[in-house]
């Protein structure tokens, strides 16, 4: 699918809003209300241009990096999680490759598929090649897995210390497969298959995996946590290419575990690489949104998943989604986790992707309007330089305008999920597609 119909600036219906950076936008809407047309919060600039500026911003830390080569200087996002507000690379050498590089690969592939330059495909390949080169050795118990933390030029550190997180390896495995399907290069299938073999062999009897393990010995550092949906989706992706019985068994067990843990018992636990153990009922927006997306996308074949996905979203909305107290209200803005109530663009975009998936199966126009409002809110979170600022708004903010670090991850999560959500929201109403009944003209599609 080509992502080309995004010029939502046409949605303004005569309301002209000049381009504003994050702080300028915040100051403006504190003086007057954010414009709302037909129940949809309006953007402060065209979404398509916001995405283009965001991708150009990424190049500011390239240095001497040449896409297609990883034997010289690398772009800043390879080994640094943080980025300076002007786009230059941060000094701190800390990165979270397995999860964040997977995101970056997905983003580059989707941006390339939208008609953008071939260099984005090369950048995706380079990230995959770097991770393949830094995977755990063949003799390790957890062999062939990427490092979830990379600090000061070597694996490990931050909250993981000497361990890795298997669920993040599954996520990067799905990115390898996406790259294999885009290029046909067998090394990416081999990398994904190696991850699948290790995970199938190391799965717990209840269908779960430990959250943190020492890769060489298999010693468990932390049992509970992570995103079970990454395992489910990864094995589903693998099974498209190889109908291996051990992979099917791993998938089926992981699915049962996810439904029991996340849906029935509402248990999530620790998720992020830079934090220590959290209670089992601790909520994080990222795995909750991804789980809801999976359930909605499979609800046509499993109708019970529709209610399950709605339950996950409702729990998330109760604690982590905010429609007031921030500059783009009444659009939704999403906090990262229960104990860290900073509203962030990447988590907001992922929530909107979940809403888009719900709209695709339900045809609920109010859900679509909420998703579009959230996507438009992202334009208020972008700086003049093109950066989607990580810390948009703290709930009950006591220090407005405080300087806080920015992350490549939140920047590219935003682009990734908007690229994925907008085509869904621009299609005819799904209810009509399912029933074969013409919907008639209906209200104007805001994405056209």
Residue 368 tokens read as: 């679509």
**Contact in structure between 389 and 382 (CB atoms under 8 Å):** yes
Dihedral angle, C-alpha 325, 328, 334, 337, nearest 10 °: -50
CA 375 to mean position of chain CA atoms: 14
Determine the Cα–Cα distance for residues 206 and 199; give it in Å rounded to an integer: 14
Q: pLDDT tens-digit profile of 303-328? A: 999 999 999 999 999 999 999 988 89
- Chain position carrying tokens 């008639």: 440
Residue 26 has pLDDT above 60, yes or no: no
Determine the Cα–Cα distance for residues 61 and 63; give it in Å rounded to an integer: 6
If one compares 1 and 196, the residue with the highest pLDDT of the two is 196
Which has the minimum average pLDDT: 6-10, 18-22, 175-179, 322-326?
6-10
CA 28 to mean position of chain CA atoms: 29
If one compares 18 and 70, the residue with the highest pLDDT of the two is 70
Q: What is the pLDDT averaged over residues 53-81?
A: 97
Residue 370 has pLDDT above 50, yes or no: yes
Residue 26 tokens read as: 């915040």
Determine the Cα–Cα distance for residues 377 and 43; give it in Å rounded to an integer: 6
Model confidence band, residue 186 (pLDDT cutoffs 50, 70, 90)? very high
**Contact in structure between 218 and 142 (CB atoms under 8 Å):** yes
If one compares 117 and 17, the residue with the highest pLDDT of the two is 117
Give every CB contact of residue 132 below 8 A, 6+ residues apart in sequence: 187, 191
SS3 67: coil
Sorted by where each starts, the structural domains of the chain and their CATH numbers stand as: 1-91+283-430 (no CATH), 93-282 (1.50.10.10)
**Omega of the bond leading into 330 within 30 degrees of 0 (cis):** yes
- Give the global pTM: 0.89
Give every CB contact of residue 195 below 8 A, 6+ residues apart in sequence: 144, 145, 169, 170, 172, 173, 176, 234
Indicate the helix (H) or strand (E) that contains 336: strand 333-337
**pLDDT at position 12:** 29
Q: pLDDT tens-digit profile of 95-153? A: 999 999 999 999 999 999 998 899 999 999 999 999 999 999 999 999 999 999 999 99
Residues in the chain: 448
Determine the Cα–Cα distance for residues 172 and 432; give it in Å rounded to an integer: 36
Determine the Cα–Cα distance for residues 420 and 413; give it in Å rounded to an integer: 11
Indicate the helix (H) or strand (E) that contains 138: none
Handedness of CA 227, 233, 237, 238 (dihedral sign): positive
The radius of gyration computed from the CA coordinates of the chain, to the nearest angstrom, equals 21
Q: What is the pLDDT averaged over residues 46-52?
A: 96
For the beta carbon of residue 66, count every other beta carbon within 10 angstroms. 16
Cross-sheet strand order for the sheet of 333-337: 321-322, 333-337, 340-344, 393-394
Model confidence band, residue 5 (pLDDT cutoffs 50, 70, 90)? very low
Q: What is the pLDDT averaged over residues 35-56?
A: 96
Model confidence band, residue 372 (pLDDT cutoffs 50, 70, 90)? very high
């Amino acid at each position: 699918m080509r992502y080309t119909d995004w010029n939502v600036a046409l949605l303004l219906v005569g309301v002209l809003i000049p381009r504003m950076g994050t702080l300028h936008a915040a100051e403006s809407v504190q003086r007057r209300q954010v414009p709302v047309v037909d129940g949809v919060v309006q953007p402060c600039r065209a979404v398509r241009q916001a995405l283009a500026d965001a991708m150009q911003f990424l190049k500011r830390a390239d240095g001497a990096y040449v896409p297609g080569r990883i034997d010289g200087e690398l772009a800043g996002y390879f080994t640094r999680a943080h980025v300076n507000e002007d786009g230059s690379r941060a000094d701190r050498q800390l990165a979270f490759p397995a999860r964040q590089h997977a995101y970056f690969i997905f983003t580059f592939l989707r941006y390339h598929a939208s008609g953008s330059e071939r260099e984005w495909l090369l950048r995706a390949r380079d990230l995959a090649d770097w991770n393949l080169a830094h995977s755990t050795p063949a003799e390790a118990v957890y062999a062939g897995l990427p490092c979830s933390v990379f600090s000061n030029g070597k694996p490990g550190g931050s909250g993981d210390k000497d361990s890795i997180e298997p669920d993040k390896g599954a996520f990067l495995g799905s990115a390898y497969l996406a790259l294999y399907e885009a290029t046909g290069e067998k090394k990416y299938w081999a990398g994904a298959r190696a991850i699948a073999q290790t995970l199938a062999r190391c799965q717990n009897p209840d269908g779960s995996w430990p959250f943190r393990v020492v890769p060489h010995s298999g010693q468990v550092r932390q049992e509970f946590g992570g995103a079970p949906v990454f395992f489910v989706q990864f094995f589903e992706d693998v099974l498209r290419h190889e109908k291996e019985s051990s992979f099917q068994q791993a998938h089926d067990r992981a699915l049962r575990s996810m439904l029991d843990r996340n849906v029935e018992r509402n248990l999530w636990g620790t998720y992020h690489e830079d934090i220590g153990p959290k209670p089992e009922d601790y909520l994080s927006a990222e795995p909750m949104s991804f789980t809801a997306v999976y359930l909605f996308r499979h609800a046509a074949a499993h109708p019970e998943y529709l209610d399950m996905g709605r339950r996950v979203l409702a729990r998330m909305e109760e604690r982590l989604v905010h429609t007031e107290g921030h500059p783009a209200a009444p659009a939704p803005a999403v906090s990262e986790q229960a104990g860290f109530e900073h509203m962030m663009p990447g988590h907001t975009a992922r929530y909107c992707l979940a809403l888009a998936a719900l709209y695709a199966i339900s045809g609920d126009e109010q859900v679509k309007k909420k998703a579009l409002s959230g996507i438009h809110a992202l334009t208020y979170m972008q700086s003049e330089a093109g950066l989607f600022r990580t810390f948009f708004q703290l709930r009950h903010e006591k220090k407005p305008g405080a300087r806080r670090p920015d992350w490549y991850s939140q920047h590219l999560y935003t682009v990734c999920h908007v690229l994925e959500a907008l085509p869904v929201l621009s299609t005819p109403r799904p209810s009509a597609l399912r029933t074969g009944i013409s919907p008639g003209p209906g209200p104007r599609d805001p994405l056209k």
